[in-house]
Chains A and B, each alone.
Chain A
Amino acid sequence: GDSVTQTEGPVTVSESESLIINCTYSATSIAYPNLFWYVRYPGEGLQLLLKVITAGQKGSSRGFEATYNKETTSFHLQKASVQESDSAVYYCALGTLPGTGSNRLTFGKGTKFSLIP
């Protein structure tokens, strides 16, 4: 089946430093899955951070970026300069394309990120 593996947390970084959360995937149900990063802030539900549906393309939102790399089956999340408001749990996920009869998401375990106090 499909699977997603991401950096095991918690991850801590100093303010204004860069953040990278690794994500690799294995898609057996479909050759080109859609790839997602969701974020869960304390006390809230998951919300979409960014989505990329085309291999080779980069998605960006709120200063975060992730590039869909089909060759390495990776979708790493990066931010150049983090701040307190970025403290959250980040989830990498893959999804099937519409029309395949399934629109399930397969999630990684989540990576908790917080600033070094």
Chain B
Amino acid sequence: EAAVTQSPRSKVAVTGGKVTLSCHQTNNHDYMYWYRQDTGHGLRLIHYSYVADSTEKGDIPDGYKASRPSQENFSLILELASLSQTAVYFCASSDRGRDQDTQYFGPGTRLLVL
């Protein structure tokens, strides 16, 4: 079954450390996205990608980098993790065409920065 998987599912990181969150999709979708969700907020878009080897900034990209080495894989990188980056992170994918705004989500990664 087509799916979006994320790893790790949870992580504890130290302030100033590097964190990499990984996302893998078997939907054969061109578009992939990274969101974060904080308590009391909706999901907010960090980075997205339309095609392999290319990424775009979303609404809150500061402090994050993204990498799309292949159609299936999309990583989110926190070079210097900070307390304010404690959140749940969701990856999603969508197809091109009429339904490109119908997104399919992974289970989320819960990140705690201490």
Contact = CB atoms under 8 A, between A and B. Distances in A.
Nearest to B59: A104
Interface residues of A, number: 25
Contacts of A106: 42
B106 A45 contact: yes
Contact of A105 (B4, B101, B107): B101
Contacts of A98: 97-101
Interface residues of B, number: 27
A46 B90 contact: yes
A91 B42 contact: yes
Interface in B1-59: 4, 31, 37, 40-45, 48, 58-59
B42 A104 contact: no
Contact of B94 (A45, A103, A109): A103
B12 to A, nearest CB: 19
A36 B59 CA distance: 20
A46 B35 CA distance: 12
